[in-house]
Structure 1
Amino acid sequence: MSALPLPRTTLLAAALSCTLVATVARADGISCRECAPLPADYTLEPQSCETPTPLVFGKPSKARPTSTQRGVFVDVDLTGVGAHPARIWLGVSHSTVPYYAIFQGTSKTASSCGALGGFEVLADFGTSLHWSPAPASLPYVRISSHTRLGACAGLNSVATVAWLALSKRWAVLNAYDHGDGFCAGDEPDPSVKLHAEGLKAYRSGDFTTAETLWRKALPLGKAVSDLGFMFDQRGRSKEAERWLVAAAASHSRPEAWLNLADLYWKTGHRPLAAKVYRGYIYMFNLGARPKHGKPAPTPVKRALQRASKD
């Protein structure tokens, strides 16, 4: 279901926790838990910020960060070994548009920044903005918001700010808005059929058609994940990373975690691979070892073996 043409939103980022919820009010008032201004010794100059990698899908924001911000820092490890840290500032400008800024290493000057597209279409209703750091301390942060429009319909916005290890660049992997509805009589989601048709084309070796159909099925999680897998199998590793990170961050599909881990492993990014393998194991609640008396599936055995190789 396509997004509704609604007015500009009033959003903000809020407190540091595993999953943060900020209450968002109308334009005449903002409620924020534990938000703070960007520290005085940090510098954000939007005009000089590096332009991030183009979106995997979605749309950029028309707004820009400003010199008036409130938000929260999230620390990330770019390589998996703690040698190249970075800080992601998630904040809100004076015009109430969510934005991010990247401070790499010990630098207190932002190297990348931008407002988050997709969020601007949310209605001026009370809503929530959530952010959550990646499981296993991977170098990305997911930001999402959901507005309930009625008893059986809602509007969602999603963005993922991530470090791409293979390209050595920051990216906003997906910034999109989409409606959801569970009302009686709702028509089936056409994305499901498009994905099925794409899967049939893939299995027949028609990769061009599969890619076209899966792109039309976005933001369906299976399409995001399968595009990443196909690009990896076709030798398009850098492109595959973007889609697999997007799938893991936004849809929590175990297959995406396993495929991303295998991608990092074979491209020599072993510490990151180990972290992603642990994330894959966590997705299945396997802990440190298979259940007693039952052999683990082959992918799980591979993950358990490689998860300790960092």
Structure 2
Amino acid sequence: MKVAILDGYSINPGDLSWDPLEKLCDLVCYDRTSDEQIIRRSRDMDGIYVSQCVITGEIMDALPRLRYIGVTATGYDHVDIAAAKAHGIAVTNNPAYSTEAVAQHAFALILELTNHVGSYHRSVLQGDWYDSPDFCYMREPISLLDGKSLGIVGYGRIGRRVARIAEAFGMTVNIYSRDPEAARKSDILTLHCPLNSENHGLINRDFIAGMKDGAILINTARGGLIQTDDVLEALRSGKLAGAGIDVLETEPPVRPHPLIGAPNCIVTPHIAWMPRETRQKVVDVSAANLASYIEGGTLNRII
């Protein structure tokens, strides 16, 4: 079986081995594949793996040999599932591989916004502690999580893991799907829901107006969940005390992006899912999915 990984770099920039997959098939791996290269690189393949490459029905029409598409992520909206079904192409994904990693990153953003560790470290490097008349000094206010409330939008695997961490910090957890007032009464609001047509732009001016004054917004889910200009306005006015953003609607962003450099806004480059252990899990599950397909099984089959 001939298989191509079309965009493998984000999963394996060189610190992992593709050996689990190479044992199962004749494997070719490309770091990146442009839209114009997809058909040419896939034409002789029985299967392909994709992370971000968009696989349309038209592409499938041009690939009569293709019988398997492995998505090396949880979301598979970049693959035309209806077209794959019509072509008799099996599609698998990697569910739940990043639960712990994304929950951890959400709290990394929260803690940076409440404890400002990076800012204080830079201050020390600049010599401020050497010059301090006291044994400590206040550069930015530090706030305690214990006794605060965390609102969670999206209470799936990641949302539940975030809730357990919050409770360990002594926080009260408000679940938006059970209590729409969660946004109004939460000190921190964190997004962990999939993006769909119903919630696109959910965090807009009206939504933010209903949030607690001085709340913090965290988004490690999908960039399209927020209205960028409305969040920027809220940060500038102080309605939002801070924001921690790991995802943008267009990635990589187009320069200049309004939230990059915005006041009290931390932006990381879609890395919540990226610990080495998590990426190794992607490789292992992808191999298990392919082995199951070869044997006639349905492990993590979408169709």
Larger Rg: 2
- TM-score bin (small chain): under 0.3
Question: Structure 2 length normalisation: TM-score?
Answer: 0.25
> Normalising by the residue count of structure 1, what TM-score does the alignment of the two structures yield?
0.24
Which is richer in strand?
1
- With CA pairs under 8 Å and 6+ residues apart, which has the higher RCO, 1 or 2? 2
